[in-house]
Structure 1
């Protein structure tokens, strides 16, 4: 199964619907799609081309070199694509008692589609097809949060640095810093105008100078549906806790999020995130990411 998958792959990075916490991915469209035994597969040449273009683009700047080296340290962009869609449980737990978000999800790293299944009710699902958001649940309170906004957000926690490989991503090398007695290169990520639904968002990543692995992600949320008059939420400081390696890709073991305070330090601890049950999938049915019959299509 893995062999067939690796022999025929494609990544399509589509402009996504803005998702809470981290709402952006850029567009690069592939031309050829092959359907074989009801499984969508893609020409293997695309992955090589996509990785080559990303490598050339990233290595054109000092900030880009830091991110490319981080990709290599986390397992390699080619491996990330070749492994196929990633499945995991993402349990987002605000410590102030606000709505938790706990789902099993499968995310198509080629075209940024997603399907979420409630961790407590396997019949309750929502997703993003690449063009539209949908939800299917017997109880309207099954997902007491903005599922359209949340559909791809977890990818922007678990998918760094690989989600920075597309066009429309701007990288700036900031002054290095020290956190918990380790030295870090610091890269600020911004986006071209028109990229995603919240191009004013930014991320600031701490990349360990020795290991080249990411340890911290600072970010803001500027989703216009939440900030109709402009502006954004206060900056958050997310620490990557531990690590796990699955099929050659090293990802965090979990996350702790704080408000960012004076001198870019973590302040009040506000959210615990468990990231478990990680695997990569191949040979998913060609309609896996489609809105199921009976689902409600969201505006």
Structure 2
């Protein structure tokens, strides 16, 4: 993650060291490019990553774009995958993160009522599953499987190290299909607003996937009502279109805070 998380929606795991260093004496690692491979993750976590295209392939891309189809209009998000700068564009506002601060710029008479520092990478975090769980500062542990329609989905609990992101007390559980190793459900807590550890999980079903440059990314997410770990009826869903993964980074000016924007 590059430790920029916001989600009140997300958090991450135990993989002691996620970087491989070269066994050479007197190496100036400030000048080295370190590789990240799935071998540093627990076996079940690596299987999920590999089922979606592998961490190595994901890390080869620099920019992700996707559009959410919402009742209020399309919402386009662009994210720099290496430093998590972002830009969200709608008919009502532009909202971004320039690497230092979040900002918002309203269009016309519209007034953005949310918190830019919370929202700027909220949906990216949901959309970048499961690869956002390859970030640094994460711990992994196994949990009881989720049962839905008489099928069991093994679970991997993900938690942040203290001080990681804006809500390090957030917790996540990735539930995967044991037949395919693909991610199937996400359980998550939100502590950004209460600043207190949550006692119940929200649940999202990763209902459909799409292949983009060898990486399997969501095409439909479904939020469900739940009592404890008992899944109820669907509350709402989101469709994702116009997805692009490229190996070219946007210019710094693309994410720069406009002079008329507010924090």
Normalising TM by the smaller chain, what interval?
0.7 to 0.9
Residue 288 of structure 1: CA displacement? 4.3
Structure 2 SS opposite 1:155? helix
Secondary structure class of the residue paired with 1:51:
coil
Distance 2:9 2:73 in 1: 13
- Unmatched segments (≥5 aa) in structure 2: 20-31
Measured at CA, do residues 189 and 242 of structure 1 come closer, stay the same or move farther in structure 2, by a change above 3 Å? same
Contact preservation (8 Å) 1:136, 1:294 = no
Q: Give 1:57's match in structure 2, choosing from 31, 36, 40.
A: 40
Cα–Cα, structure 1 residues 77 and 297, in superposed 2: closer, same or farther, change >3 Å? same
- Runs of at least 4 residues of structure 1 off by over 4 A? none
1:69 pairs with one of 47, 57, 77? 47
**Partner secondary structure for residue 174 of structure 1:** strand
- TM value normalised by structure 2: 0.83
Distance 2:77 2:197 in 1: 30
Shift of residue 158 of structure 1? Answer: 1.4
- The residue aligned with 2:86 is 114
Looking at structure 2, the residues matched to 194 and 140 of structure 1 have their Cα atoms a distance apart, in angstroms, of 38
Residue 189 of structure 1 corresponds to 158
Give secondary structure in 2 for the equivalent of 1:156: helix
Q: CA deviation at 1:140?
A: 6.2
Structure 1 232/173 Cα, relative in aligned 2: closer, same or farther at 3 Å? closer
Structure 1 residue 280 and structure 2 residue 252: aligned?
no
* RMSD, matched Cα: 2.7
Cα deviation, residue 297, structure 1: 4.2
Which residue matches 1:15? 3
CA contact (8 A) 1:128 1:289 kept: no
Gaps of 5+ in 1: 1-12, 30-44, 59-63, 94-99
